[in-house]
Structures are given as structure tokens and as C-alpha cells.
Amino acid sequence: MGFGHIYVDAPQDAVLGILDRHLASKGFSPAPMTPAAHPSRTKEIDESRLRLFWVSPRLGRWTGLYEFRFYSNAARPRWGYTDEELAVAISRELGAEAYRLEVVDQAGFWLYAHYLAGEEKDGLAYHDTPADRSTDPEHKRYALNRIIEREGLKNIGVGYENIPGPSVRPIEAIPQRSDGIEGFEGFVHRAYTHAGE
């Protein structure tokens, strides 16, 4: 399993406003999306032309951003599932606390970055092999789990592609299910196209 999320200590409408402004600064505009226009395969679209997001309602302190994970990106400007520049911009513009999380479980890898008003306050990347793994809950391997539990972050491991809605369609064999997604009814979909596309 691999996923990446951004969590922001701010209301959903404030996060959506900064998301719109940040992507506008990169030449993107909000665009209507229909199931017919939505990608149905991985690597079908490039993030330089189309960006896709689900934004959760505020659950406890945190509003979550879930971006499409499977861009084709022949010449990709960033690594991973989450956009670090976006996480910093939202945190800075809102003067808010934010977390950016990445997990590639099959590779034994995770990272997190914790921001306050756009400044990274702490972060950690971890990688292990099956031989290094421990069941000790105090082991460094479980530091991310402790943050998730302490902060009450919701919908960990839910990918953009798992979330159903009237604007999207399934991506290949990736299942879409609303049960088990906290706050599902309040999720907002956003699609952005780059100028000239």
C-alpha cells in the first residue's frame, strides 16, 4: 500500500481557497469534471496538465487533502504522492499547522513533515527491510503511527482513487467505497486544468 496525505489545522473552505490560489499561481484553473472526462487508468494523465483532489471536511482539528496518486509524469517535477510546495503554501497562507505524510509500505518507507505557518518544524523519513522490523511499539518504525494517534488524523491510507463521487469514476481495479471513510458526505472534489489544455 502506498499513499500520501496533507492535513491542515484549518476549516475546509479556507483550505479550498488556498488550494485554488496556489494552483492558479502555477497556471491552473478550476475545471468541471464528469465521470466521462475523468481518467479511468493509472498513468493516463500528467500532473502538468491536470490536478485532481478530494478535500475532506474538518474532522477534529484536521482537514485532509487527498491527491490523485497515479500521474504519468514523464518529466516529473516532484517526487512522491504529496506536493510539498502545496503543503508549505497552505500552512504559510493560513498561518496554520500542517502535516505531510507519505507511506510506501511494501518498501518499508515513510516520511512526515510538520509545518507551522509555512516553516518546517520537524520531520523524519524512515526506511527498513523485513530483517529490521520490530514489533516493539516504541521502535522508530512506529513513530508515524504515534503521530497519527496523537493528532487524531483520520482516513489514513484512503487514496484519492478509493473515494467515490458524482464527478469521478473508478481507476482500473482500485475499489471505490464510501463506507469506512469518515466525513464522506462532506468531501469536496476539485479538478484543475493548466492554461492551454
- The pLDDT of residue 73 is 64
pLDDT tens column, 154-189? 999 999 999 999 999 999 989 999 999 999 999 999
Integer distance in angstroms from the first to the last C-alpha of the chain? 32
Residue partners of 155: CB distance under 8 A and separation at least 6:
5, 56, 59, 64, 66, 181, 182, 183
CA dihedral for 23, 29, 30, 32, sign (positive or negative)? negative
pTM for this one? Answer: 0.93
Mean pLDDT across the stretch 120-137?
A: 87
pLDDT tens column, 41-83? 988 888 889 999 999 999 999 999 999 988 876 666 666 789 9
- The pLDDT of residue 197 is 58
- The pLDDT of residue 84 is 94
Q: Give counts: helices (H), strands (E), the chain.
A: 3, 8
- The pLDDT of residue 176 is 95
Q: Has residue 105 got a pLDDT over 80?
A: no
- The pLDDT of residue 116 is 98
Task: Report whether 112 contacts 147 (CB < 8 A).
Answer: yes
Cα(14)–Cα(49) distance, integer angstroms:
24
The order of strands in the sheet holding 63-67 is 28-30, 188-194, 50-55, 63-67, 2-8, 97-104, 109-116, 119-127
